[in-house]
């Protein structure tokens, strides 16, 4: 069973919007901080956004602040990323990732398989 499955990627025009979804299974979703991490073609990993288990706090990379909104629905075991004002620089594979912790110490695990977002006219 794959614990994190992303969907919603596709081709969108510059300036457009898209909503990504991540379906979680096999763990108590609401107990975990969740994240989006992206990877542009041929490039490295970039942390995009995080949200606490209760949605009380949300965090964003400077590159997406004001354009992207992270949200979650714990009743549906789902994580979302609402993306607005998209540009070519947002073209990337977007991964849904759980934050695991040991006391105060966090790390990413597991990773979803990703959903590809392409911004092009």
CB of 63 to other proteins, least distance (A): 10
In 3D space, the residue among 22, 13, 46, 23 whose CA is nearest the CA of residue 117 turns out to be: 13
Is the bond preceding 78 in cis, omega lying within 30 degrees of 0? no
Name residues contacting other proteins, limited to 19-48 (CB under 8 A): 33, 35, 37, 44-47
Measured CA to CA, the distance from residue 66 to residue 91 in angstroms comes to 17
Residues of span 54-83 touching other proteins by CB under 8 A:
57-59, 61-62
Which residues contact other proteins (rule: CB under 8 A)?
Answer: 33, 35, 37, 44-47, 50, 52, 57-59, 61-62, 95, 100, 102, 105-114
């Amino acid at each position: 069973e794959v614990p994190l499955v992303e969907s919603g990627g596709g081709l969108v025009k510059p300036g457009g919007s898209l909503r990504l979804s991540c379906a979680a299974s096999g763990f108590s979703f609401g107990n975990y901080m969740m994240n989006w991490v992206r990877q542009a073609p041929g490039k490295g990993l970039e942390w995009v956004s995080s949200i606490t288990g209760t949605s009380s706090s949300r965090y964003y990379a400077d590159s997406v602040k004001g354009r992207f909104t992270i949200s979650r629905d714990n009743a549906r075991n789902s994580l979302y990323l609402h993306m607005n004002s998209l540009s070519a620089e947002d073209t990337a594979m977007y991964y849904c990732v759980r934050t695991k912790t040991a006391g105060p110490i966090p790390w990413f695990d597991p990773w979803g398989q990703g959903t590809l977002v392409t911004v092009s006219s």
